Amino acid sequence: MTLTRFDALLFDLDGTLIDSMPLHTRAWHAWFAAQGVALAGDAQPFAASAGRLSEDILADYFPHATLTERAAMAEAKEARYRTLAETDLQPVAGALALLDACAAEGFKLAICTAAPLANIAVADARFGLRQRVQAVVSPADGLRGKPHPDIFLHAAQQLGVAPARCLVFEDAPLGIEAAQRAGMTAVAVTTSLAAAGFAAYPNLLATVPDLAAFDRHLLHTPQERTTP
């Protein structure tokens, strides 16, 4: 019998399973431009905030806005993103193949994301993500966003797996921190941030440029290894 180090794999969505961060950048720039605010440069201005709720990001820019006002701002930005995603969104390299291969090996799978439900629906319509996993968990379930561990812990509970037996895939330091606080090992995916941005986290199993580069042998104990 093959022995595994993990029973469940928990995947962030934006920047981990789907190559959405460039589209979010375009949407943020367009939204801020509509407010008369020009963001400097073309680089991702929200890399350090990846994994946070849009409302929380907006609080940094509009600290005096009410929660209702920030929610309306966030929805306007996300609507711009969805318009782009409906035609331009692509999966991260290797993402769909990894989901399917790990499902075939018997791992339980979940998507753990701060994305709004409408954004998740766009990704699902393009790539059939919900049929590939057993659970999709987000703040819409009444949970706090990352770096709080709530989303990952709720996913583990939904899957019936102990946190220590879960492996998290994340492209954001806040997500790696959330995994650490949940007592979970993690893989950093450097689609949004260079590897140096994850170096401080002790719970990393690996750091990879995309999911095509992830070695599935790492899911198994050294004594029992499977073929790719």
Phi-psi region of 41 (alpha: psi -120 to 50; beta: other; left: phi over 0): left
Model-level pTM greater than 0.75?
yes
Alpha-carbon gap, residue 127 to 26, rounded angstroms: 21
Residue 35: inside a domain, yes or no? yes
- Whether 109 and 136 have beta carbons less than 8 Å apart is answered as no
Active-site residue flag, 12: yes
Alpha-carbon gap, residue 213 to 93, rounded angstroms: 9
* Backbone φ, ψ for residue 74 (5° rounding): -60, -40
Number of domains in the chain: 2
> Which of 12, 14, 150, 171 is an active site residue?
12
DSSP letter for each residue of 60-79: HH-TTS-HHHHHHHHHHHHH
Residue 224: inside a domain, yes or no? no
Show the tokens assigned to 67: 């929660």
At 155-172, the pLDDT tens digits run 999 999 999 999 999 999
**Residue where one domain finishes, among candidates 65, 88, 111:** 88
**Residue where one domain finishes, among candidates 88, 107, 129:** 88
Q: Are residues 142 and 169 in the same domain?
A: yes
At residue 48, does pLDDT exceed 80? no
Q: Whole domain around residue 62: which residue ranges?
A: 21-88
**Domain containing residue 49: CATH number:** 1.10.150
At residue 221 the predicted structure's pLDDT band, cuts being 50, 70 and 90, is confident
DSSP 204: E
Q: Are residues 123 and 38 in the same domain?
A: no
Q: Are residues 119 and 14 in the same domain?
A: yes
- Whether 181 and 147 have beta carbons less than 8 Å apart is answered as yes
**Domain containing residue 170: CATH number:** 3.40.50.1000
Residue whose C-alpha is closest to residue 228's, from 105, 142, 110: 105
Q: Are residues 112 and 210 in the same domain?
A: yes
Q: Are residues 78 and 95 in the same domain?
A: no
At residue 227, does pLDDT exceed 50? no
Residue 1: inside a domain, yes or no? no
Mean pLDDT of the chain: 89
